[in-house]
Amino acid sequence: TIVLRLRKDLHAIAERNGAALKVVEVPPGPPVISTLTVELYGEPDTPYSSLIEAAGVVKDAMRSEEAVVDIDDTTETPRKRLQFVLDKEKAALHGVTTEQVVQTLYLALSGATPANVHIPKERNPLRVRVVLPRSKRSSAQDLGRIAVHGAGGRMVQLAEIGEFVGVDEDQPIYHKNLKPVVYVFGEMAGRSPVNAILSLHGKLKKHSEDGGFVLPAGVTPVFDGEGEWKITVDVFRDLGIAFLAALVGIYIILVIEVKSFRMPLVIMAAIPLTAIGIMPGFVLLNLVSGGTVGGYHDPVFFTATGMIGMIALGGIVVRNSILLIEFVRDALEERLPLKEALLRSGGVRFRPIVLVAAAAAFGAWPITLDPIFSGLAWALIFGLIASTSFTLFVVPVLYYMMFAKEHERIEDPPEGIM
């Protein structure tokens, strides 16, 4: 929230002074290079200049996206460095060697530590560093006035034996998996990175006349490399596998307990009902309470912690189903008709089911203020509201659909849970 408030004002200050400014904040999750990271690779015969050109195209595409800020890449602004070109004939006439010139320039620009000063009662000595003042080494003219020892002890200025010329600095070439690559970065301000990446992917596939951004020939963009997109995909994949493993584990335990393959399906029917509450719940939350901070939206996203909350709900809602089925089993043992037992189960078990759900929901409420685990808390709250509401109706209906015929044929109830 603080970053959203300050971002526009800070960028305005940077633009007035011709500076590039990035607002860096600690990410609420695994560290990544940037939220949005596009990697640009070329064919073996593609020059690196084409990758640099492609980076400019991708940055233009990012600028056209809503809420994409702090756009940058790994290319550097062309700049020159001063290089001293020694005239060897003039240097020989003045009795100056190349080594003398190198040592003099190194001492003037980088400095040296010729001695240490020992101060009483100080554990470490004070280093004496000798370096030319910045005011005397800020231009080629200043450097040309630096003198070296010539023949006969005469002081010779560097401008007399050579000249300083501006040379273009080489662009740093980054590699990944032995391939040249250029990275393009961007951050999100109040928008899901998933939406931005999908939109960018579509724009870079279109032709320019269709509103797209055309990359140079031989350049391929990769969106699932080092950014948050890859982390998100990997985390949700792993959590999805964990969710399936949890469902299988719950089913096996219930089969062992109830000694039936169909009864666990009725009990676990409440688990999918949590999704009915979680997904619309986040949409409703952002519609009701989602506002703007500093001109940017400040929504609550369904993150990996929200997925963890969905997995955690599996054990809670299964307990609600067990409370219902337990009452039905006891009622059937008392020779009550199946329909009457199912109807009574909702009324009798309503209070304990609601109390269990309310306790879990209120326990999760303080976590909604946490920037990392708020998704988990809201997933628990919305999932509990939906599953508690639907479980009282769905579980009895499914039980009747699956076991009604058995109760019509026999008087004794089918074997249920403990």
3-state secondary structure 269-332: CHHHHHHHHHHHHHHHHHHHHCCEECCEECCCCCCHHHHHHHHHHHHHHHHHHHHHHHHHHHHH
Using only C-alpha atoms, the chain has a radius of gyration, in whole angstroms, of 35
pLDDT-derived band at 66 (thresholds 50, 70, 90) equals confident
Residue 401 class from Cβ within 10 Å (0-12 exposed, 13-18 middle, 19+ buried)? exposed
- Which range among 199-203, 288-292, 358-362, 388-392 shows the weakest confidence by mean pLDDT? 288-292
Q: Please name the amino acid found at residue 44.
A: P
**Cα–Cα distance between 333 and 170 in angstroms, integer?**
86
Per-residue confidence (pLDDT) for residue 183, from 0 to 100? 93
Question: In the structure encoding, which two tokens stand for residue 308, read together?
Answer: 């963890």
pLDDT-derived band at 325 (thresholds 50, 70, 90) equals confident
Cβ 380 vs Cβ 281: under 8 Å: no
* Of 37, 145, 151, 152, the residue nearest 84 (C-alpha): 145
Per-residue confidence (pLDDT) for residue 40, from 0 to 100? 93
Neighbours of 325 (CB within 10 A): 22
Q: What percentage of the chain reaches a pLDDT higher than 70?
A: 93
Cβ 402 vs Cβ 262: under 8 Å: yes
Question: In the structure encoding, which two tokens stand for residue 313, read together?
Answer: 């709900």
**pTM, 2 dp:** 0.70
Sign (positive or negative) of CA dihedral 230, 234, 240, 246: negative
Q: Which domains does the chain have, with CATH numbers?
A: 33-78+172-224 (3.30.70.1440), 80-168 (3.30.2090.10), 229-409 (1.20.1640.10)
Cα angle 202, 205, 210; round to 5: 85
pLDDT at 311 over 60: yes
Once rounded to an integer, what is the mean pLDDT over residues 307-332? Answer: 85
Q: Which of the pair, 33 or 248, is modelled with greater confidence?
A: 248
Reported as a single tens digit per residue, the pLDDT across 90-142 is 989 888 899 999 998 998 888 888 888 888 888 888 888 888 888 888 888 88
**Residues shown for the chain:** 418
pLDDT-derived band at 55 (thresholds 50, 70, 90) equals very high
Sign (positive or negative) of CA dihedral 40, 46, 48, 51: negative
pLDDT at 29 over 80: no
Reported as a single tens digit per residue, the pLDDT across 141-185 is 888 888 998 887 889 999 999 999 888 888 888 988 888 999 999
Neighbours of 113 (CB within 10 A): 10
pLDDT-derived band at 251 (thresholds 50, 70, 90) equals very high
Per-residue confidence (pLDDT) for residue 417, from 0 to 100? 45
* Of 214, 269, 209, 207, the residue nearest 399 (C-alpha): 269
